[in-house]
Structure 1
Amino acid sequence: MKQHQSQTTPPTRRRSKRRFDRDGFRELLENKGYSLVAFAKATGISYSGLRKIAVGTRQPSPNTYRLILARLDLLEGSLRVEDHSEHREAA
């Protein structure tokens, strides 16, 4: 007779989600004298895409994120904040 092996699943670690800091981004643009139009031209990012990122309806792609950091002379990981938003489950 075979013995039933108990399989335990290791606890899953909840990975901290980080999102783009749109408020910090807009503040930096203002402090450095950029309008969204001027920043779009300086980085080659479309104005409409940049506007969506600035208002928070879209997260930047990794490439766009790097372009933003490079133009603002920031280090990798800058303009990231903890995402504390709660996801609502369908009722």
Structure 2
Amino acid sequence: MNTAELKERTSIRINKSLLERMKAKAKAGNRSFSNLVETILYKFESTEDEGLMSEEEFFDKIDASRKGIEEGRFVEVRNKEELHQYLDSL
């Protein structure tokens, strides 16, 4: 019995310079372009939900922030990265 997953051929349109860079990375890694793309997609699939939070967690963080402001504790954030760092610290 063959336990290998079936592969499906597909076609995508991507920026030419990105395609060239990806092909160069595949060649440098001694792998096929298809293998590189598949590996990237598997990594994306396994990590895409890690950064997401539930609605309840989101509102809990907002409530914690409001409470801190009311108590005179607040942090100035200047960009999105600093905002995420602050929210993660709550």
TM-score, length-scaled by structure 1? 0.29
Q: Greater CA radius of gyration, 1 or 2?
A: 2
Structure with higher RCO (Cα < 8 A, 6+ apart): 1
Structure showing the higher strand proportion among its residues: 1
